[in-house]
Structure 1
Amino acid sequence: MEDLYEANGSFAINLLKMLGEEDSSRNVFFSPLSISSALAMVFMGAKGNTATQMSQALCLNRGGYIHQDFRSLLTEVNKSGTQYLLRTANRLFGEKTCDFLPAFRESCRQFYAAELEELSFAEDSEECRRRINDWVAQKTEGKISEILGAGAVDPLTKLVLVNAIYFKGKWNEQFDRKHTRGMPFKINQVGKYFSGCTANFLLFFFF
């Protein structure tokens, strides 16, 4: 587990640097664990140069118990009985005419609790987009209702891998409501927003 902790920490720092390159003054909020666990599923099915490059990008040691450690980590993250609510969920949406290896499907289920749901992107990609958005909305308690904008998938799409994370908790030191104001918050690249409250504070989160 220690190797995975170190790898995820290095991956988080590298990704944060990349996200801040375009505009170092903007806010950046992301979950490195969501991204690394999703990519680890792709890595599980990769071979040759692709596998080598992915292990380097994820800062992983290919000789370790990578997927077993991810399972233990995700179990710990999703534990109950805490003073906050934190849930992660993974799912694969695959084109129903594709023949996904049973071993890959079983490994995704075993290590990442990720089922592969078969959809028909070739016949109705828009309906598939709505189905994926509905799943994300359900897992995020309606906070994210349209993760995929129009045209994000098409009849040539073969596999969509989705990770959702939901967090709800109270601040240890709550800020004064009179110092907050409602502002739009952008949740995807096509300009979808939801209204929320903002306050001035500095945050660093590494999940």
Structure 2
Amino acid sequence: MAIDALRLANTAFAVDMFKKLCEKDKTANIVFAPLCTSTSLALAYKGTKGDTATQILKALHLDDVKDVLFGFQTVTSDVSKLSSFFSLKMVKRLYVEKSLNPTTEFISSTKRPFPSELELVDFKEKTEETRQQINKSVSELTDGKMENILNEGSINDQTKILLVNTAYFVTNWMKKFSEAQIKECPFKINKTETKPVQMMNLEATFCLGYVKELNIAVLELPCLNKHMSMLILLPKEIEDDTTGLEQLEKMLTPETLVEWTNPSVMANTKVNVFLPKFKVEGDYDLKPVLESLGMTNIFNENVADFSEMSETKGVVLSQIIHRVSLEVNEEGAEVRDVPGYRILQHKDEFKADHPFIFLFRHNKTRNIILSGRFCSP
């Protein structure tokens, strides 16, 4: 039950984050890793007290979750097993200035659930050395995919706590898209303009659902061994003056998302799927996003309360760096068509040749690992 409460909390936080990132730019591609952020913040929460702690719990929707760190430990250990099947790397690190002298209780209480997420570093005396060291270790943890996570000048000798989230993922499907079927097609970025895109095509049986009142289709594409699925929310047409996603984004809530992607409202259908090959990258400073979700104390020297971690006054979360890279391509297991499906004359078409929202869900815990929207090649 606790894991259920955590899943709902994480879903709600993912939706909140998504909507805030959408508000910033109506037409940009977006990709972010909500689970990285909530895990790191749960770790920071362990060091806070009073209103600072309450605000974190509220922003992460964790008020009803009994043992927060244990819940995250269970989910993250499940999710980390995925990296043996996929090129999926997730880094969630809390770098703490060592002169803050974090208490032994704090260090040991975080080390048990998260052996490597907390690191004591020297921002104060060895700023540049520390920056290079963090860059090097993040690069190594992501197979060299995430270089220079910290630009020059991004930290200084006043940096207290730095939170770094990075994730990269390259798809690996249960059913491979045939390379021979990839063709250049126009992708509508709005009502009047198109851009060319490499369009993949596959006809197979998938879970498909419809949200009648919004005129959107919801497709589930399982990744290898069904450990994860990509869920795509695609409006039928571009109805507004930007991406065609405005109405959907407005109606999106944690509740509607759970409702629309619920397996019970989707059916196994023979579908002719058209999906662009694409690569999206997101690079965000999450401080303003979290502040707008009510997490203001943690960044404010006058009120931040990190007394569960350190006796030093004025400890704040100085910065949150969030960088994600996602590559959607044709790779996957070879398709052997199951005999008997031939009888299905009727087939649906799912043609993602205009903007859509996507999420990658870990099917065992049903947590959202990556989410975003694709608006333009």
The bucket for the TM-score relative to the shorter chain is 0.7 to 0.9
Q: How does 1:59-74 map to 2 (within 5 A)?
A: 59-61=61-63, 64-74=66-76
Cα offset, 1:3, TM superposition: 0.3
Select the residue among 27, 30, 52 that pairs with 1:28.
Answer: 30
CA contact (8 A) 2:5 2:65 kept: no
Conserved 8 A contact 2:95-2:161: yes
Look up the equivalent residue of 1:79 and give its one-letter code: K
Distance 1:89 1:112, change over 3 A: farther
| Alignment match, 2:93 | 91
* Number of the residue aligned with 2:42: 40
TM superposition shift of 1:150: 1.1
- CA drift at 1:14: 0.7
Task: Identify the match of residue 204 of structure 1 among 358, 369, 372.
Answer: 358
| Residues 22 and 65 (structure 1), Cα distance of their counterparts in 2 relative to 1, 3 Å cut | same
Cα distance in 1, alignment partners of residues 12 and 139 from structure 2: 30
The aligned residue for residue 131 of structure 2 is 129
Q: 112-121 vs 17-26, which deviates more?
A: 112-121
Can you list the C-alpha shifts for 1:7-52, whole angstroms capped at 9, x where unaligned? 0000000110100002221111011101110111111111101111
Percent identity, please: 31
Structure of greater relative contact order (alpha carbons < 8 Å, 6+ residues apart):
2
The structure with more radius of gyration: 2
Name the structure with the higher strand share: 2
- Report which stretch shifted further, 102-111 or 32-41: 102-111
Distance change (3 Å), C-alpha of 1:69 and 1:55: same
**Cα deviation 1:76-116 (Å, max 9, x = unaligned):** 10125864243434333222322101121122221223354
In structure 2, the CA distance between the partners of 1:12 and 1:198, relative to structure 1 (3 Å rule), is closer
Residue 63 of structure 1 and its aligned partner are, at CA, apart by 5.6
Contact 1:55–1:62 under 8 Å retained in 2: no
Task: Show CA shifts across 1:109-164 (max 9, x none).
Answer: 21223354332222221111111111111111111101111111101112223333
In the superposition, relative to structure 1, how do residues 13 and 62 fare at CA in structure 2: closer, same or farther (>3 Å)? same
Length, aligned pairs only: 202
CA distance in 2, matches of 1:124, 1:55: 33
Where does residue 77 of structure 1 map in the other structure?
79
Structure 1 pair 88/138, CA: closer, same or farther in 2 (3 Å)?
A: same
Cα distance in structure 1, aligned partners of 2:327 and 2:78: 30
Distance 1:21 1:126, change over 3 A: same
Task: Report the residue type matching 1:133 in the other structure.
Answer: N
Contact 2:44 2:94 in 1 (8 A): no
Paired letter, 1:77: V
Q: Which residue of 2 aligns with 1:7?
A: 9
Q: Distance in 2 between matches of 1:114 and 1:81?
A: 16
The correspondence for 2:169, drawn from 167, 170, 176, is: 167
Structure 1 unaligned blocks of 5 or more: 191-195
Distance between the aligned counterparts of 1:9 and 1:20, measured in 2? 16
Q: Name the aligned partner's letter for residue 9 of structure 1.
A: T
Per the alignment, do residues 185 and 130 of structure 1 end up closer, same or farther by CA in structure 2, a change over 3 Å counting? farther
Contact kept in structure 1, 2:98 and 2:122, CA below 8 Å: yes
Work out the CA distance in 2 between the residues paired with 1:57 and 1:154: 28
Does the Cα contact within 8 Å between 1:139 and 1:165 map onto a contact in 2? no
